[in-house]
Structure 1
């Protein structure tokens, strides 16, 4: 059901983006070029590494003539007639913004893909389409908030990827903010160059037994915990462009095949778990991004990523904060055990999270950002660290034999899918910073990391009524005011913008619309009007949002 919901949402998003792209003025692109549109769903400008698939119809594509030859086309391009010829000839791509500035690209691959499109409109009677595709990455600065930016590109017959300066030594990459070193065992040391290497978290994997169920993790009395520390790893440089650097790390853990419930220990028989992680650093990125891919073949276990500072934080002033729905909660690092006469189960050591968890002593801190990984743990002893749960593997909906729970939480139904015996991929990031989370833009960076961007390629269609770069709405002012929702009102005549403040202090922000606003009101969730809001400069609505408050603005345009 979740996959179906995701599929529907993706289709609706693509339909809306296609409608917007069709209205963009693409006259800045030349006749032999195609257009890439990058959509930024964040409420503030985003500077980030972009991964895009550049594609065009391979039939009749034109490539730049080799240097020194007389061009056979007025623009200096020669037509290619077959997909095979294109695949052999294309060696690079050039990308420009709408102002004509060329961007540095890292090209992962260039391929020709054949697709069957029987319903596509075309002058050709054949339903087979050959698409020329290039997987690229580039850095974009200040993408318009809740808007888009259009670029133009064309394929060429020479390599266009340039080497960059982010890789400064074997297995080392750095930008102006961060220094990242890959150690011999594949663990990763990250230093914040602005704060001196006071915090250099060592990142590695840890796997332990899980004899619990879908409701509760349960650690056995005797566990065999395995880590990647001290084990050989394969490290390879996979990207070294001016826009970004990336290393690929391969780990292998021989995990116990399952948990033996009769003996109360993990089995002696082992199965391999191979983890491939891509570690990326953008040229002006404030965080290090990770993408881990694996295929799980073991049962009854929990795999986590450990973020361990190489230098200890001030233990007496540590605080752990994690994002929650419309809030950021400070959690006890060592929660007290529940009174068994009043509670049916022990207090779990793990905590829920939204897009980030943060550990700080007030001077320095680390934040772990994630995409869809709702469980983490923060510990103080024997040294401060953050654990990020990638997945749990369990056998039953509920079990009656858990020592941490007085009674079953549900029926003892087998859940074979709960063992997660499949391929999985996880995305997360590490952001070392100065001060507490609310002093270091942690929430804004986490939302930027989670929201990502969307890209769409199209053929230039001439003049449209939308410019090559535009924002439809933006949020200005205090970065600790976050955007939750934008939707039409129930009567269809206004726009609703929902914001929230998860801090303990009032915050001020401005909602800036892309067109004149006739009226604005503060409303409840059921759209009952609570307060008339002032509209400044015809398009701006200033707001003061109280501590831990949610505010919904109903704005009516002069025309919708």
Structure 2
């Protein structure tokens, strides 16, 4: 019996936003390419065309050719040209969940303004699929997805399936296992039988996809002719070919009465495609910047702008979107991965710098404007802003400028303890070439201090700074010592090793912290050991050690150099002919469970990988790492590690994994979590898999290399030419921030709250005119608001212990305040009641901010049960 197959021929282009070329260079191609698209669709040469599902390239095109906006929109409205839903085709594994939501929100909004969005989660080339995507898609009213990479062939045995998240969200998934370019054979080859065998493999339904397109591919003007040729060639086989598009294909798939298999989890397997499981450490400098700006936008800029809006300073949606768009352009899969040419990476870095400057300046402006617009403003008022919707007790680093060396801090008439870490004199008169002419009275003092505060939710706290005559300041002395401690830990440096004692359990972790260096003969896609490697463990035996012991924290600073190989040639000869200067600062805050590390490394070597290794004392079989809205559990050894080549896999399934902010090992009575600000890659190592190795950075010199130990065969990227990337050797000073936390239990919600406590800084502002350069905008003059700022209690979720704060901002239509919470655990939790300070109109929305319930006026809003991994969004207004 002949099995009928309807082959949906889908003409498309995959328009990499940037790669070995820049977005500027591809824009020239796109500008002329769209002439072909218009011509083909308007003359009926093509019936349909898919413009790669991302709106950033459309935005760029219409900026250059604005006169074609109506022409473009007419084709979208006619159902001929398919666009969206993304602003850029995001990476799913190292980009925050809120960033992914913003990407879809801006993409959908932009596409709808041009005639309509294709509501399909279309990511044909992202390097793996994140486990939270079905619930993100459902929250954006997307029920279908198309992707290529990462599906393990022992987990999903057919190409059509239901992909499900742990909260029950699900999408109909179509996996294009042979790539978005597989249909090129329709144009170039007359082997109809061979092509059909390829695209039909593992399909079970009568309707299948044949995507005809490729990277920055031109329009195939002979598509109809080639379809006719294949129809005739395969006459009598039950195969019919139809020029189609993905919405039509899914309509047919969903009409089928076949029960599709259900698949859960993430897809990061190399069983059918390269997945580049060590790309998470390529171009660490970019990943550090991305992480910093994401955290600032989500946890500071949006909440602070919402707070300011309630105080009479209007919410600037366009300004927020400008930063997001800069950031989202760096989230395209190649851009986020770092597998680009140097010229492209420089443009990516420039976007980071621009986003960094604008986002920081928003905080600068708003904290000053609020501070200077209070009803009573006095010199030396010191204001701290909590941009999180819950009360927060934490140590804050602050710089103050004073005329006198000594001062006191007061809160409601009570003196506030602070720790003075450093102080320096600064001249504020007119600068002159001869500094000996400077007058003593024209100097003031900049003091770096630590203060411990309890901050109200989404509000500011005001301290008064009182200057005290000419008394000498009590600066915490720097001393030679080898031990620091707090109520939880004692940390000692002994014979070059860091030893940690857990005071609560009396457990000692000997040599619990070191740095590993090894050769890296990989490329910007993948780590691969050097063919002639020399691998070593770096300790702190030659370090100069100093400590500061104050009432709020104790700090140990290690300064030294490590000797490593200069390059692969030196490494093959077992030479260690390059010194790498480093500074490691370890901080134990008085009441903190976190051992905070700040490491600076001045990298001067090529082709190597450095990792921070932490001994946990927990022999592990699986690791836990955070994902956009939850956690993923992964084996410490891939079950196919020793048979992958025999199975025909595309790269070695080394247990190197992505993380967003933290990784954890735990057993029944012990848990160790590592938090990071920018590190995105880890591996569990050691004889008993008790050590967490965080990849600090990889230093490599080519976009793609062939015949890697971990990835044999052709080079990734461009297989025909070496593309040198000397900038990706990262010969620069690199900054790493990590915290280590020991607990008795692993509690997912508490871990994410601990991360926020660690990673989110507290903006502050001092009323003073001694120093006009505390921030960039301080130099500009500024009027206070016409109406003085008064206390305006906004929201406090301090009592919601079972769920995690995700975001707080204004809705995109400006009508609501939007609060998002989620349950990162694998079990359902009762969230409790959201108490408002006054009556509010409130209801639930989806992630797209469309109301799911009828809003009602309430002062206490029951949040109900959160299913495992569930996200809930609450819209309210006073």
TM-score category of the 2 structures, normalised to the smaller one? 0.7 to 0.9
Report the equivalent of 1:184.
Answer: 495
- Give matches, 1:83-232, under 5 Å: 90-114=404-428, 132-156=444-468, 157-161=470-474, 170-185=481-496, 187-197=497-507, 199=509, 202-229=512-539, 231-232=541-542
TM, length-normalised to structure 2:
0.53
TM, length-normalised to structure 1:
0.80
Higher CA-based Rg: 2
Residue of structure 1 aligned with 2:623, choices 320, 323, 331: 320
- Give matches, 1:512-531, under 5 Å: 512=834, 515-531=837-853
Residue of structure 1 aligned with 2:823, choices 486, 490, 501: 501
- Give matches, 1:85-484, under 5 Å: 90-114=404-428, 132-156=444-468, 157-161=470-474, 170-185=481-496, 187-197=497-507, 199=509, 202-229=512-539, 231-237=541-547, 239-260=548-569, 265=572, 268=575, 270-309=577-616, 312-313=617-618, 315=619, 318-337=621-640, 339-340=644-645, 341-379=647-685, 381-405=687-711, 406-411=713-718, 412-438=722-748, 441-459=750-768, 464-467=788-791, 472-484=794-806
RMSD: 3.1
1:46 and 2:392 equivalent?
yes
Q: Distance in 1 between matches of 2:509 and 2:541?
A: 23
Q: Distance in 2 between matches of 1:258 and 1:131?
A: 49
Shift of 1:193: 1.7
Cα shift readout 1:281-315 (whole Å, capped 9, x = no counterpart): 11111111111112111111111111114xx43x3
Q: What residue ranges of structure 2 are gaps of 5+ in the alignment?
A: 1-350, 432-440, 770-783
The answer to which structure, 1 or 2, has the higher relative contact order (CA under 8 A, 6+ apart) is 1
Residue pair 1:41, 1:145 contacting (<8 A) in 2 also: yes
Q: Distance in 2 between matches of 1:131 and 1:479?
A: 49
1:553 and 2:860 equivalent?
no
Structure 1 pair 266–324 and aligned structure 2 pair: CA distance change class (3 A): farther
Structure 1 pair 113–148 and aligned structure 2 pair: CA distance change class (3 A): farther
Structure 1 pair 198–21 and aligned structure 2 pair: CA distance change class (3 A): same
Shift of 1:254: 1.0
Shift of 1:353: 1.0
Report the equivalent of 2:62.
Answer: none
Structure 1 pair 471–370 and aligned structure 2 pair: CA distance change class (3 A): farther
Shift of 1:226: 2.5
Structure 1 pair 371–392 and aligned structure 2 pair: CA distance change class (3 A): same
Q: Which deviates more from structure 2 when the two are superposed, residues 226-235 or residues 422-431? A: 226-235
Shift of 1:417: 1.3
Q: Which deviates more from structure 2 when the two are superposed, residues 476-485 or residues 6-15? A: 476-485
Aligned residues: 496
Cα shift readout 1:380-410 (whole Å, capped 9, x = no counterpart): 5245111112111111111112122243220
Report the equivalent of 2:281.
Answer: none
Q: Distance in 1 between matches of 2:359 and 2:634?
A: 34
Q: Distance in 2 between matches of 1:130 and 1:393?
A: 47
Shift of 1:230: 6.9
- Give matches, 1:28-43, under 5 Å: 33-43=379-389
Cα shift readout 1:43-78 (whole Å, capped 9, x = no counterpart): 43222221111125xxxx4xxxxxxxxxxxxxxxxx
Report the equivalent of 1:71.
Answer: none
Structure 1 pair 19–473 and aligned structure 2 pair: CA distance change class (3 A): farther
Residue pair 2:482, 2:493 contacting (<8 A) in 1 also: yes
Q: Distance in 1 between matches of 2:473 and 2:862?
A: 46
Structure 1 pair 91–20 and aligned structure 2 pair: CA distance change class (3 A): closer
Cα shift readout 1:391-445 (whole Å, capped 9, x = no counterpart): 1111111111212224322023211111111112111111111122438x32211
Structure 1 pair 34–497 and aligned structure 2 pair: CA distance change class (3 A): same
Residue pair 2:804, 2:821 contacting (<8 A) in 1 also: yes
- Greater per-residue strand proportion: 1
Q: Distance in 2 between matches of 1:131 and 1:454?
A: 26
Residue pair 2:564, 2:575 contacting (<8 A) in 1 also: no
SS of match in other structure, 1:496: strand
SS of match in other structure, 2:664: strand
Q: Which deviates more from structure 2 when the two are superposed, residues 520-529 or residues 146-155? A: 146-155
Residue pair 1:51, 1:135 contacting (<8 A) in 2 also: no
- Greater per-residue helix proportion: 2
Q: Distance in 2 between matches of 1:163 and 1:404?
A: 50
Report the equivalent of 1:73.
Answer: none
Structure 1 pair 154–99 and aligned structure 2 pair: CA distance change class (3 A): closer
Q: Distance in 2 between matches of 1:498 and 1:212?
A: 40
Residue pair 2:606, 2:729 contacting (<8 A) in 1 also: yes
SS of match in other structure, 1:2: helix
Report the equivalent of 1:81.
Answer: none
